Amino acid sequence: MTIRKKYINKNCFKQKKNNSIYKIVRKNILNFTPYKSARSLYKNNTNNLISLNANESPITSIFSLNKRIFNKYPEPQSKELINLYSKYVNLNSKNILITRGADEGIDLIIRTFCNKKNDKILFCPPTYDMYRVTAEILDIKYITINSNSNWDLDLNKIKQNLHNIKIIFICNPNNPTGNYINQNNIIKLLELIKNKIIIVIDEAYIEFCIDQTLTNFINKYNNLIILRTLSKAFALAGLRCGFILANKYIIDILIKVIAPYPIPEPVIDIAIQALNLKNLIIMKNNVKTIINNKQWLIKHLKNCSCIKNIFNSSTNFILIKFHNSEIIFKKLIKKKIIVRNQNHEKKLNNCLRITIGTFIECKKLFFEIKKLSF
């Protein structure tokens, strides 16, 4: 368990004292380590790259705009889109808020519930880094409780560290490990804290293991919030459309804080199309295709001697521990195959996270790794 506190690097200020801007900017931002998105890591020489580092869908969704006049502001929260999503998740429309991706949901929830003087958030590494990033941007302290050996919640340690905790973030299924969290452990945690702490379940990858969703608990636990997105299974990462699912009282509070016109009209237009019955069937079939590709890839990679372990995955990516991940990572780059290096994480040394691509991309990846196994 670690508690991160904000501090000022004095040498940083000495080096920059001649620049007046650094006297104006918030001090916690000067030494802040930003989130490194997949696109920011490889800006150059992107021609013919096989990008397996961003957990995007390899299957293209093709839509055309129905609306082509944009001189008026959009509806703050599109009733049509909310009604369609409410049918999809089997919740009342009053339980839904549309956001610019799940990332805006993370920011919105922390800004709404946390006071930087005393409040903290808690999350369980290795997990999605935007919980840390958003907390540091907003100058909110955070506590990390490492997940156990099965990548599940360490409930005993969490129980011991709930002082001043306002929000607990749980990525389920988890990124970058790929596993889903034991639902009984989440329920135990919800029962333990009752309405004292907000629990946010980030279900960005839930369509790949839909039976693990906690949406049916929304109306049972007033402190439960679920994040959803159209970026993964719906193959609409470029759309930046997400949803917050919660009880009506939380939604009403969040509406006070969210930007007045958060969702652009073209986004609403395409999201509505993606949620019609025909396209929902296509999405579910695409999920099956990706899962089949994943099973094929795992089956063949198991025979590669350079691999130490392939972790169980309930997502559209796999986490692999190699004997020497740096060699594999660099060799794959030379072959224009980009994966996500997790070697910087304490518990993920020699690990690479690999997005499941098309069948052709999976075959090429396998053949390149197989060459490195001799």
> Would you place residue 45 in the very low, low, confident or very high pLDDT band (cuts 50, 70, 90)?
low
d(CA 244, CA 106): 9
Q: Is the predicted pLDDT of residue 241 greater than 60, yes or no? A: yes
Phi-psi region of 288 (alpha: psi -120 to 50; beta: other; left: phi over 0): alpha
The pLDDT assigned to 35 comes to 72
| Mean pLDDT confidence for 287-299 | 98
For the chain, give the mean pLDDT. Answer: 92
Q: Over the stretch 89-146, which tens digit does the pLDDT of each residue have?
A: 999 999 999 999 999 999 999 999 999 999 999 999 999 999 999 999 999 999 999 9
Q: Determine phi and psi for 201, rounding to 5 degrees.
A: -100, 115
Instruction: Determine the residue type at 55.
Output: N
The pLDDT assigned to 340 comes to 96
The pLDDT assigned to 105 comes to 98
Q: Is the predicted pLDDT of residue 41 greater than 70, yes or no? A: no
| 216-238 b/e (C-beta count within 10 Å ≥ 16 → b) | ebbeebebbbbbbbbbbbbbbbe
For the record, the structure tokens of 268 come out as 């609403």
| Lowest model confidence (mean pLDDT) among 17-26, 53-62, 105-114, 353-362 | 17-26
> Would you place residue 6 in the very low, low, confident or very high pLDDT band (cuts 50, 70, 90)?
very low
Q: Is the predicted pLDDT of residue 8 greater than 90, yes or no? A: no
Give the dihedral of Cα atoms 294, 297, 303, 308; nearest 10 deg.
-60
The pLDDT assigned to 248 comes to 97
d(CA 282, CA 284): 6
Q: Is the predicted pLDDT of residue 47 greater than 90, yes or no? A: no
| Mean pLDDT confidence for 236-255 | 97
Q: How many CA atoms lie within 13 A of 282 on its CB side?
A: 15
Cβ atoms < 10 Å from Cβ of 366: 18
d(CA 371, CA 304): 9
> Percentage of the chain with pLDDT > 70?
92
The pLDDT assigned to 302 comes to 95
317-322, strands of its sheet edge to edge: 50-52, 337-341, 351-355, 317-322, 307-310
> Would you place residue 16 in the very low, low, confident or very high pLDDT band (cuts 50, 70, 90)?
low
Question: CA dist 374 to 143, 298, 302, 371, Å?
Answer: 43, 18, 14, 6
d(CA 120, CA 144): 10
Sign of CA dihedral 125, 212, 288, 242: negative
Is 302 in contact with 280 (CB distance < 8 Å)? no
Question: CA dist 195 to 32, 111, 124, 251, Å?
Answer: 32, 19, 20, 16
d(CA 167, CA 161): 12
For the record, the structure tokens of 51 come out as 């990008």
Is 95 in contact with 246 (CB distance < 8 Å)? yes
The pLDDT assigned to 257 comes to 97
Q: What is the DSSP letter of 155?
A: H
Nearest Cα residue to 89 out of 180, 218, 267, 238: 218
Give the dihedral of Cα atoms 186, 187, 190, 192; nearest 10 deg.
-100
Give the rounded distance of the alpha carbon of 315 from its chain centre.
Answer: 11
d(CA 226, CA 1): 25
Q: Is the predicted pLDDT of residue 179 greater than 50, yes or no? A: yes
Task: List domains and CATH numbers for the chain.
Answer: 1-32 (no CATH), 38-58+280-371 (3.90.1150.10), 79-275 (3.40.640.10)
Q: Is the predicted pLDDT of residue 14 greater than 60, yes or no? A: no
For the record, the structure tokens of 310 come out as 């392939």
Question: CA dist 65 to 20, 86, 271, Å?
Answer: 46, 22, 10
> Would you place residue 30 in the very low, low, confident or very high pLDDT band (cuts 50, 70, 90)?
confident
Q: Over the stretch 305-346, which tens digit does the pLDDT of each residue have?
A: 999 999 999 999 999 999 999 999 999 999 999 999 999 888
